[in-house]
Structure 1
């Protein structure tokens, strides 16, 4: 859920700069709801689960960075159109979250 919150927050500048006030307002409401749920889940976590969280968050950050690099290379190096930084940030965050989810699922299958 933290990854989904980060994707939501990284998408916000794209809609704000594009003039989509309704969309950006909805994203802020979703981010607020996610933050409340994350806090509630944190309070219900066992000590063993909280101990595993720093490693998972580190992997999430590395996945987001990798997704951002991949999208920057794609948009600025390979794609025929140039896009703004907000679009690259939004797409990179989404790619990073997908990379994180797939890698966690892959590791769980082993």
Structure 2
């Protein structure tokens, strides 16, 4: 969804406009005086970093793991994770199977 804004006038404030990364905002004009930051774009951390995985982790592998876990009963998920090719990266990052499964499913549900 595109958020369209005509003109923003910011005077004597800390931030004139702040948007989260990934947002789609169109602004016709910004007039800022005595303002610390006219436009601030906050970057969202990647899904990989939110999960605590190394930056070079293949997103397709994470997606495949998520699909596998969603098809399983909750009691089977930790065992399946430990058999996954991603397990060495997950355990190497100091993450437990239980916390990783919980975090992954929580993030997934936040997009539903």
Fold in common (TM above 0.5)? no
Larger C-alpha radius of gyration, 1 or 2? Answer: 2
Q: TM-score, normalised by structure 1?
A: 0.23
The structure where helix makes up a greater share of residues is: 1
Q: TM-score, normalised by structure 2?
A: 0.22
The structure where strand makes up a greater share of residues is: 2
